[in-house]
Structure 1
Amino acid sequence: MRVIHPLSRPVLGILLSATLLSGCVTNHETGNPEGWTEIKPAAVSEIAALVPPDIAAKGYLTMGTNPPFAPFEFKDSEGNIIGLEIDLGNALASVLGLELHPVEQDFSKILPAVSAGTLDFGGSGFTDTEERRASYDFVNSLYAGVQWAQQTGDHVDPNNPCGLTIAVQRTTVSDTDDVRPKAEKCLAEGKAPIEVLAYDSSDNAATALALGRADALSADSPVTSWAIERAGGKIETTGDMFQAAPYGFAVPKGSPLGPALAAAMQHLIDTGDYQRLMKQWNIEDGYLQHALINEKPVSQKK
């Protein structure tokens, strides 16, 4: 979950800066997953009619995004931005009779750009939170939580992590809301401390686990699944997913673009394109059953 927090807690254990590790097994992406096919449905006139006139006139949607955050958004070997949210954005735009123009930006600048109107919406692993809903509406895309991974055959218990070395992506929920509170608890109880290996990308955190530099990885469940698929059997999940929350595409509060995107999402769900798109990126659970804005069902307007 991409929620930026300041590192206000004391640094516990070893905090590493991001580095590209030799022998990396997860951060060299060549392109879309095996068996991938483009999913760009035909425009649906009744849904396209919901698009705000200024956006309809220009013929495309701008979506702010911040790679790398595989499988949601990252760059292929040619430097193109690809990923689950890019595919979903393309499919939604297609239903609306529009093209999608991904715009790479610093993560912290995407939502302000949406507010300023320089971006139509944001799609970069945003967690739909009550705090953010004060300024934005979120067209939800899926539910995900925190999922730990271990080296294959190990016996790591996420509920008893004292004494372990744990890899995370810096400033994510896994870092600030999962591992660091657990590290503080270990110290408060006089138990062996946790060493926190914090990296600037989830790929490097997963690589640390695969290479044996960490005992465990804490990351968003789709990120963990993606890493496992690319680690050649070196790592596996451990424990249950927890802290489940919705992801979403952010639009300005009250914008008519929200209902238009939600109607397009409902169309993708109804036709099965939503499910097919998720499966292509190894997402097997957390699916929406109905289109949601801020976790509330939206009736498609025709």
Structure 2
Amino acid sequence: MPPLSLRSRLLRGLTAGTAVASLAAGLAACGGDSDASTHPDSAADGTVTVGAVSNGAAKETELKVSEVKSISAKLPASVAKSGKLVIGVGALPSGSAPLTYVGDDQKTLTGSEPDFGRLVAAVLGLEPELKNFTWENLFVGVDSGKVNLAVSNVTDTEERKKKYEFASYRQDNLAFEVAKASKWKFDGDYKGLAGKTVAVGAGTNQEKVLLEWKAKLEKEGKKLTVKHFQESNSTYLALSSGRIDAYFGPNPSLSYHTTRVAKTPNPTRIAGTYSGAGASLQGLIAATAKKDSGLAEPVADAINHLIKNGQYAKWLAAWNLSNEAVAKSEVNPPGLPTDNS
């Protein structure tokens, strides 16, 4: 794995946050990589079906996306000639809903990330080919040329820019999940946590952030109680019973959970988000290609086309991730500093 502990901590947080889901059942066993089955999209008429076979995790949405010749003309010759965009995700062995997992047909790779890769491929006039890897081997795949583009919740970092080029497409956010009946909101100021009891996963980036806030509040004579639970079922039981006020974790997994419990006796909501990179920088998730491959620019142009034409917003809304929208895709925007670990 790349020597950046932030991403690994976020990944562990996502795993903990989605342990209640059974959607990942049936994902291929652990290994180097796995070809994904054909997704029920990429139709000849340019229709991309977002949220297909998602087992209710997304609102199935058909989007018409046509090739934009002025953008596809910028593709590297080798990619254009191949006629396909090989998209890598790092979801082996168990997947991570709603980002990437096997759908309810028990064979199709679905999730917000594969769907986004398919939308980008459509703008570029390329056939999407999904390949599933372990997290470590995803980067090996990009390095070796086996993968053109990694679309797998990869955080833009200055360290990674030594080997890769980026096209940003989502904010990298943490979130507070609370009972739907709760009146509390997080506005970005840690002082609003005074007197609260918050659960967080041990060893995660969000725990590091929360403990820093706890220390600040203690210096101000205020109390923040931090709780740890061994698994997410216990966390959500504590939330529904009122033993904790909030759960602090990666926004995608918490937003996903809110959709799963929306019609249950214990619905929840997102009370606010916070940049995974901290107060001074908005963390960004980016499509990742090999440095100097020439892919980042046309991919960013494709993303901006999707933003301008509304398909981007519909993709986010389908997966309940509208609170991670970016106004514009950028090529190699400022990333997480190398000293943030």
TM-score range, shorter chain: 0.7 to 0.9
Structure-2 separation of matches of 1:269 and 1:262 = 10
Which residue in 1 is equivalent to 2:209? 178
Match of 1:237 among 244, 255, 270: 270
CA contact (8 A) 1:228 1:236 kept: yes
Q: Is the alpha carbon distance of 1:61 and 1:180 closer, same or farther for their aligned partners in structure 2, counting shifts above 3 Å?
A: farther
Q: Is the alpha carbon distance of 1:91 and 1:106 closer, same or farther for their aligned partners in structure 2, counting shifts above 3 Å?
A: same
Q: How does 1:36-185 map to 2 (within 5 A)?
A: 36-39=60-63, 41-67=65-91, 68-79=95-106, 80-154=108-182, 159=190, 160=193, 164=197, 166-168=199-201, 172-175=204-207, 177-179=208-210, 181=212
Q: Is the alpha carbon distance of 1:192 and 1:276 closer, same or farther for their aligned partners in structure 2, counting shifts above 3 Å?
A: closer
* Unaligned segments of structure 1, at least 5 residues: 7-16, 297-302
Which residue in 2 is equivalent to 1:221? 251
Cα offset, 1:3, TM superposition = 0.4
Q: Is the alpha carbon distance of 1:186 and 1:34 closer, same or farther for their aligned partners in structure 2, counting shifts above 3 Å?
A: closer
Which residue in 2 is equivalent to 1:9? none
Q: Which has the higher contact order (CA 8 A, sep 6+)?
A: 1
**Structure 1 residue 274 corresponds to structure 2 residue 289:** no
AA at the equivalent of 2:128: L
Q: Is the alpha carbon distance of 1:257 and 1:266 closer, same or farther for their aligned partners in structure 2, counting shifts above 3 Å?
A: same
Cα offset, 1:211, TM superposition = 6.1
CA RMSD of aligned residues (A): 3.8
Cα offset, 1:255, TM superposition = 1.5
AA at the equivalent of 2:308: D
Structure-2 separation of matches of 1:157 and 1:270 = 31
* Unaligned segments of structure 2, at least 5 residues: 25-53, 335-341
Cα offset, 1:51, TM superposition = 1.8
Structure-2 separation of matches of 1:266 and 1:192 = 41
State the identity as a percent. 21
Aligned residues: 279
Secondary structure of the 1:223 match is helix
CA contact (8 A) 1:128 1:245 kept: yes
Which residue in 1 is equivalent to 2:326? 288
AA at the equivalent of 2:96: F
Which residue in 2 is equivalent to 1:13? none
Which residue in 1 is equivalent to 2:46? none
Instruction: Select between 131-140 and 237-246 the one with higher mean Cα deviation.
Output: 237-246
* TM-score scaled by length of structure 2: 0.67
AA at the equivalent of 1:173: N
Structure-1 separation of matches of 2:303 and 2:18 = 37
Q: Is the alpha carbon distance of 1:81 and 1:18 closer, same or farther for their aligned partners in structure 2, counting shifts above 3 Å?
A: same
CA contact (8 A) 1:139 1:250 kept: yes
Q: Is the alpha carbon distance of 1:112 and 1:46 closer, same or farther for their aligned partners in structure 2, counting shifts above 3 Å?
A: same
